A and B are shown apart, each in its own frame.
Chain A
Amino acid sequence: MNRFIARISSAFFALCFALLCVPRIASAAPLWQFAGRTFAFTHVEKQDATLLVGIDDPALRRLFHALGAIVTWKPGARYVLVATGEPTIVSFAIGHRTYDIGPLAVRSTVAPIVREGEAYLDFDALARALGLRKITGGAVTILQPQITSLDVRDEGSGMRVIARGAIPLQARLVRESARQMTYAFVGLGSRLLHVRSVDAGGLVAVEISQVGTAAHPTTYITLDLDGSSHVARVGSLDGRDIGFVIEPGASAVAAASPAARAPAPQIARAVPLATPSPTPQVAVAMRPPPNAELPTVSPWNRVANEPLATSAPVAEVTPAPLVALARVDTIQAQLTPSGITLHVALTGAASFDWHHLRAPDNRFWIDLHGATLAPTAIPPAAGAPIENVRAHQIDPQTVRIALSVDGAHDISVTPAATGLDIAVNTAPSLADASTAGTGVAGTGTPSVALAAAAPVAGGDPNLWSVNPVAAYVPTNPRLIVIDPGHGGSDRGAVRHGVAEAVLTLDMAKRLRAILEARGWQVIMTRTKDVDVYAPYDTAEQELQARDNIANRAGARLLVSIHVNAYINAGPNGTTTYYAKPIDLPFARDVQNELAAQVGTKNDGIVKSHLYIPLHAFMPACLVETAFLSNPDDFALLTDPAWRQKVAVAIADGITDYAGAPPPAIQPQQ
């Protein structure tokens, strides 16, 4: 009996000893190694011998950064979303063992947990999703980045082999012959198939082999060619992958190798150069800030004898005389056979824009710019289909009238001589945005009427959120404002030392000369390489300052000249962007002439929510002349003769749209 008790007690003590010691041994933090650096995780949990690492662990954060991965999680959230550099989204659900790597559902050993406001993930699952192979040996566990995929495509003109990895790939040509090209990827391992036979497009097979140690692996990719083709290009589309393009035409090793050996033309990401303007333009900097917007003369209720603006140089533009603010006197509701109409009585003139959100929101609001709300303007009581009407002075010069309606009704705005009518039509058919521009008090010019009748292109017919400034009437119909994009502290796109700001100014000056020769008055928003508002201003200040110049001058048209760019050399061509319905016919005419005359790829007209055309009262467009990031377009952009062609094409587009300038009227002395 005593012996039995002794055995039991010794076993008990042994167990206690083991229980006390094992956590100590386990807590001697295991070391990890990635890309030659050794580290330990500090935010760790253990469940059934499975390691969970907290997403806020500093070492894990550094690992994510090195792999270009991003983790999205907040305390209380039910999903931990990891966007890998691949790019793929890995979604872990707290408390669920199944997780997703893109479209693949995978099961982890333990489910993600939350401890003290931090999510902990099964590290094995995470490493696998991130393209890391775990190699345990000795005291340090190595995380070896893998070449995760090798894709072979027959592209008709040639074969393309694309490799992707856990980290951005860099290929080094190590062996070349007429039939074999071998590239080394240092620091990466691979568990892909060793040989893939292809037998198409001159490519016999792709061989993959791994050499080196677990900590310092190198993977070789060998392209076996049949002697009738060669590796024409090696490059990266997104900086992470490596693509080998195999094209027909057997070439001597000497001919093939320079192309392959030369690093792919990496186009650097554009970083706007913060070059201060050498000579601060006092006249420019002293211009009133955009917030001090002067009330604009009503487009539909213009004073007939108002003097026309003259084409003063930009730097000498003086603020227009103050015009008294319009006043919203009353808002009255009237039932009509088709619904209800609100009459907004206005003394003076104001421009307006309106927004109508589609179902189920159904909100509608109209902003009257350059207007105040009289105490007498009490919104009428609501009645179907209007749930309520509200009127506010949202800033010292803007009155907002907002309606909530009980369904997806058609709402039209009709300016009248004494104000404007907002008609809510309960008839089931939905008209398009063109109704906003009709019923003008007899002052619309033909082109404006055409613009107003143009439907919103490519949009949801239930939704209008553009600013359809109805029936814009230029106070100076002879004036065209040219906006050379960027300038001064904002260089725009920059490639190989060539800045967008310089190119746009050159093209704008050429356009000015042509338009003036054709009898137009021209104002340029800038005539030098300067900021229009102020150096190092915000983009909004800068863009609004340009719109202000055109809006205050009552210009007939505004054309903004830009140069496009992208992170890789792929995209090319010429595009004219527009924003408002009244911009559409103008943009179309400009783009048609550009497409016919400048010889770049015709990328057509594109509607976008762009600041410059959106905040211009007149028909406006933004011409992206060509891509600075594309070698062919780059050659054109840097050719003065081509820039002259662009200027002529834009001028012809203006003529197509607006005809000849109206005869000059001499201001009364």
Chain B
Amino acid sequence: MSEIRRSGHRPAATSRPNYVIPIVVLLLLAIGAGWWLMRPHAASPNTLTIYYTEMDGTTVKPWDVTLRPRPAGSTRAQWAHDRALYAALQAVVGPPADIHAVRFPPGTRVNDVAIHGSTVTVDLSKEVESQPGGTFGENAEFKALVYSMTALPGISAVQITVDGARLPTLPGGHLELDEPLHRSDF
């Protein structure tokens, strides 16, 4: 700021009125403040709460992950989609390896997510169908996924699809997946 003042004073300073410099400074401050206020999304941490199911098969534990600041120019809907996709992938991948958690079958991918009102559709790849054979894993995996997705603002229900298709239940499975799942289903 002192540099501005010095450079401003140099050649024609005598001919200018005294209030020009304070006005310029205030204007710069206002611009700076405006820019600062307009960029909260770029600076704020974007923490998502993800849940995993402990090895007892029923206890869900939260853990926080952070998605890189929202890329400039993305709309609110795009940002909601990005957060939901990240949350779904993180819930499917599970917590770091040193945490013992019930995990989705290896190779299970999240193809995409779509938000319609308060329901988020999570499209999983067919690897999710290679379940180990009991209610234990299915219940624990989908409980963690449903808790993670419903931790997103405005989301209360999770519709599961596999490779784009709704299915009533996994092959040889136990859970009913035809209707959206809610936290109260577990």
Contacts and interface: CB of A to CB of B under 8 A. Distances in A.
B184 interface: yes
B181 interface: yes
Interface in B88-109: 89-90, 92-94, 96-98, 100, 102-103, 105-107, 109
Most chain A beta carbons < 10 A, residue from B57, B102, B136, B176:
B136
A72 B109 CA distance: 8
Contacts of A77: 82, 85
B136 A74 contact: no
A289 interface: no
Contact of B174 (A164, A239, A538, A611): A611
Interface in B143-170: 143, 154, 156-157, 167-170
Interface in A523-545: 538-540, 543
Contact of A88 (B67, B96, B117, B183): B96
Given A565-B132, A567-B137, A361 B68 contact: no
B57 A610 contact: no
Contacts of A103: 65-66
Most chain A beta carbons < 10 A, residue from B66, B68, B100:
B68
A608 B138 CA distance: 10
B133 interface: yes
A77 B85 CA distance: 10
Contacts of B90: 89
A622 B109 CA distance: 29
Contact of A241 (B86, B97, B132, B179): B97
A269 B106 CA distance: 11
A99 interface: yes
Given A93-B71, A94-B71, A539-B170, A238 B184 contact: no
B55 A540 contact: no
A74 B170 contact: no
Contacts of B167: 540
B89 A83 contact: yes
B132 A629 contact: yes
Contacts of B133: 270, 272, 492-494, 500, 564-565, 628
A361 B71 contact: no
A460 B182 contact: yes
Contact of B172 (A463, A492, A564): A492
Contact of A563 (B112, B134, B178): B134
Contact of B168 (A164, A458, A538): A538
Interface string B46-61: 0000000001111000
Contacts of A357: 118, 156-157, 182
A240 B107 CA distance: 13
Given A95-B71, A269-B132, A565-B136, A87 B94 contact: yes
A316 B97 CA distance: 53
A463 B89 contact: no
Contacts of B112: 74
Contact of A78 (B57, B74, B177): B74
A591 interface: no
A540 B168 CA distance: 6
A167 B47 CA distance: 30
A492 B138 CA distance: 13
A566 B134 contact: yes
A651 B179 CA distance: 33
Contacts of A241: 97
A567 B94 CA distance: 15
B60 to A, nearest CB: 10
Interface residues of B, number: 70
Given A94-B71, A99-B68, A562-B134, A539 B185 contact: no
Contacts of B139: 577, 606, 608, 610
B135 A270 contact: no
Contacts of B94: 87
Nearest to B58: A606
A102 B65 CA distance: 8
B9 to A, nearest CB: 40
Most chain A beta carbons < 10 A, residue from B65, B69, B110, B134:
B134
Contacts of A481: none
A272 B57 CA distance: 22
A624 B134 contact: yes
A126 to B, nearest CB: 16
A134 interface: no
A247 interface: no
Nearest to B83: A79
A81 B86 contact: yes
Nearest to B130: A269
Contacts of B181: 465, 609
A604 B110 CA distance: 32
B169 A611 contact: yes
B93 A79 contact: no
Contacts of B168: 538-540, 611
B186 A607 contact: yes
A79 B97 contact: no
Given A164-B97, A564-B134, A490 B185 contact: no
A330 interface: no
Contact of A622 (B58, B66, B135, B143): B135
Contacts of A622: 135, 174
Contacts of B96: 86-88, 102
Contacts of B29: none
A608 B135 contact: yes
Given A68-B106, A79-B82, A89-B90, A624 B55 contact: no
Interface in A465-498: 465-466, 486, 490, 492-494
A627 interface: yes
A271 to B, nearest CB: 7
Contacts of A538: 168, 171
B68 A564 contact: no
B176 A614 contact: yes
B71 A96 contact: yes
Interface string A213-245: 000000000000000000000000111110000
Interface of A: 68, 70, 72, 74, 77-79, 81, 83, 86-89, 91, 93-96, 98-100, 102-103, 105, 151, 162, 164, 237-241, 269-272, 355, 357-361, 456, 458-460, 463-466, 486, 490, 492-494, 500, 538-540, 543, 562-567, 570-571, 575, 577, 579, 603-604, 606-612, 614-615, 622, 624, 627-629
Interface of B: 55-58, 65-69, 71, 74, 78, 82, 85-86, 89-90, 92-94, 96-98, 100, 102-103, 105-107, 109-112, 117-119, 130-137, 139, 142-143, 154, 156-157, 167-186
30 contacts: A70-B107, A72-B110, A79-B67, A81-B86, A89-B65, A89-B93, A94-B71, A95-B71, A269-B132, A270-B131, A358-B182, A456-B184, A465-B181, A539-B168, A539-B171, A540-B178, A563-B134, A565-B136, A570-B55, A571-B56, A571-B57, A577-B135, A607-B185, A609-B142, A609-B175, A610-B174, A622-B174, A627-B134, A627-B136, A628-B134
Report the 7 A-B pairs with minimum CB-CB distance, sorted nearest first. Answer: A493-B133, A459-B184, A564-B134, A540-B168, A565-B133, A270-B133, A609-B185
